[in-house]
Amino acid sequence: MLCVTRWNTPFSRRPTSRKSDEGDFGEVAYSVLYNRCLNDGNFTIAQVNEKLDAIAINNTTQKPGVNTIDRVFTRSSHIILGEPVLKQLVEKDLVSMLHGMSAREQKLLIRVILKQVRFGLGTTGTLHAFHPDAKDLYDVCNSLRKVCATLHDPTVRLHEIGIQLFTAFRPMLAERGAMDKLEKQLDCTKFYQETKHDGERFQLHKNGEEYMYFSR
């Protein structure tokens, strides 16, 4: 287990290591677990997603700045849970996945949780492989769930992709323009300039008297 506890140590100083494992906790865990786990896991992708959603919800309510007692909605009831209970739920979901997965599946799960998938393929390439319009839709809705549900058939193109009220979109995607062409492009001579301040970026969506704020 020494490799696991020292997973981030440079490979030259680890007792058993490979250069390719350096900084890769998932690969180091796999090298320790490959002969200690199930040969085949018993979790489906849908079940893993459900567990990860539950972990994310329960873990978020424990973060600083969030009330230690928060309202958690389940499919069957509305309950109020304290921080210790939420922590136990996170651990329970995580342990149940680890006990029901093969070593290779645990390696991939660890990489997903740490956001270190190491596939050598970025967001743009992944979305384009899924559907030709996936990148454009993701830019305006910022929801992989919606992208997958809307563009499940790669042979059907999405002819109109636009920003929708009360759906967060990715900021800072405006096309770069030339100052000397603005007057002609906008067909006006009066402009308003807003000072750019450092700090948290928010999106404000308004429809009549209904407001919704989105933060990063």
Domain range list for the chain: 1-42+100-118, 44-97, 123-215
Q: Is the pLDDT of residue 12 over 50?
A: no
Question: Is residue 19 annotated as part of the catalytic site, yes or no?
Answer: no
Q: 162-213 pLDDT, tens per residue?
A: 777 888 777 776 777 787 887 888 888 787 777 877 777 788 899 999 999 8
With CA atoms as reference, report the closest residue to 86 among 124, 57, 65: 57
**Which entry of 51, 107, 196, 206 is annotated as an active-site residue?**
196
- Give the tokens for residue 197: 């301040």
What's the gap between Cα 190 and its chain centre?
Answer: 41
Q: 89-112 pLDDT, tens per residue?
A: 889 999 999 899 999 999 999 998
Q: Is the pTM of this model over 0.75?
A: no
pLDDT band at 85 (very low <50, low <70, confident <90, very high): confident
